[in-house]
């Protein structure tokens, strides 16, 4: 088996802002044990940059796909691969920052390949933010707006978690294994579909585990039921 895991809402509980997530005690130890049992065939597939994932899960490093596949690291010690992508116009970043500044509770998350406007703390702002982003993109076919949990993400077309899963599965130690993808959000549907298409499973957190705590409990049982 190869284990492919979303981060926010799957491994950790959703927080009001991305910077407020808490990595529960025992999670890193369980993931480390599972990585050993699976020969390293475990990866985090997230919208977050890989550097953020490393910092949150330190001192552990795993294979990872960051920013929905804009960056791929097929093993903890492997070089990060970045497909050629269009560059987000700087003015879009400025406008997104202005939107966040003008509406209390809105948080802008800048990424190397795109950006996200989070409105969990300002739920009424969702439609306005989407409209503003649509105005920015206009007829630009290089980028798209993706709905996430209380957020709108602008990202280059051609990257998603499904493509990230397929790229990871082409490299050792994932190659030749059966993928199991677990995620909780709209952005995870591509990853689930890719895992199924490769002969594996794609599981939604809410349906199979209830919530992130349920995923962690399952991982804990797996970790302690396998030989180290």
Q: Tens digit of pLDDT for each residue in 16-41? A: 888 899 999 999 999 999 999 999 99
Range 199-226 average pLDDT: 95
Token pair for 126: 């969702």
Split at pLDDT 50, 70, 90, the class of 226 is low
State yes or no: pLDDT of 92 exceeds 60: yes
Q: Which residue has the higher pLDDT, 228 or 18?
A: 18
| From 6, 54, 184, 185, the catalytic residue | 6
Sheet with 63-66: list strands edge to edge. Answer: 71-73, 63-66, 42-45, 2-5, 179-183, 201-204
Determine whether domain 2-82+159-225 maps to CATH 3.20.20.70. no
Q: Judge residue 1's burial from the number of C-beta atoms within 10 Å of its C-beta, 0-12 exposed, 13-18 middle, 19 or more buried.
A: middle
Q: How far apart are CA 12 and CA 26, in angstroms?
A: 12
6 catalytic? Reply is: yes
Segments of the chain assigned to CATH 3.40.50.1000: 2-82+159-225
Segments of the chain assigned to CATH 3.90.1070.10: 90-156
State yes or no: pLDDT of 79 exceeds 90: yes
Determine whether domain 90-156 maps to CATH 3.90.1070.10. yes
State yes or no: pLDDT of 64 exceeds 90: yes
Q: How far apart are CA 49 and CA 19, in angstroms?
A: 13
CA 127 from chain centre, in angstroms, equals 23
State yes or no: pLDDT of 227 exceeds 60: no
Token pair for 196: 């199924």
Split at pLDDT 50, 70, 90, the class of 112 is confident
Quote the pLDDT of residue 84: 87
Q: How far apart are CA 158 and CA 65, in angstroms?
A: 14
Three-state SS at 145 = strand
End-to-end Cα, the chain, rounded Å = 16
Quote the pLDDT of residue 228: 42
> For the chain, what is the mean pLDDT?
94
Question: Do 190 and 162 touch, CB atoms closer than 8 A?
Answer: yes
State yes or no: pLDDT of 54 exceeds 50: yes
Q: What is the pTM of this model?
A: 0.87
Q: How many CB atoms within 10 Å of residue 128?
A: 14
Percent of the chain clearing pLDDT 90 (strictly above): 86
């Amino acid at each position: 088996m190869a284990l492919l895991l979303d981060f926010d809402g799957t491994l950790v509980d959703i927080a009001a802002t991305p910077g407020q997530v808490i990595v529960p005690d025992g999670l890193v130890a369980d993931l480390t044990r599972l990585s050993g049992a699976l020969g390293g065939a475990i990866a985090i597939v997230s919208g977050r940059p890989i550097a953020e994932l490393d910092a949150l899960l330190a001192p552990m490093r795993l294979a990872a796909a960051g920013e929905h596949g804009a960056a791929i690291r097929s093993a903890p010690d492997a070089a990060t691969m970045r497909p050629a992508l269009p560059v987000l116009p700087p003015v879009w970043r400025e406008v997104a920052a202005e939107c966040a500044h003008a509406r209390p509770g809105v948080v802008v998350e800048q990424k190397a390949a795109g950006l996200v406007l989070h409105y969990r703390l300002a739920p009424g702002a969702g439609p306005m933010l989407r409209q503003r982003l649509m105005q920015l993109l206009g007829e630009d076919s290089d980028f798209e707006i993706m709905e996430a949990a209380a957020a709108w993400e602008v990202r280059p077309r051609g990257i998603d978690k499904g493509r990230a899963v397929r790229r990871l599965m082409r490299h050792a130690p994932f190659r030749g294994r059966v993928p199991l993808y677990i995620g909780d959000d709209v952005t995870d549907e591509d990853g689930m579909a890719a895992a199924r298409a490769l002969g594996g499973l794609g599981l939604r957190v809410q349906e199979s585990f209830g919530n992130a705590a349920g995923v962690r409990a399952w991982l804990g049982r797996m970790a302690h039921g396998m030989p180290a």
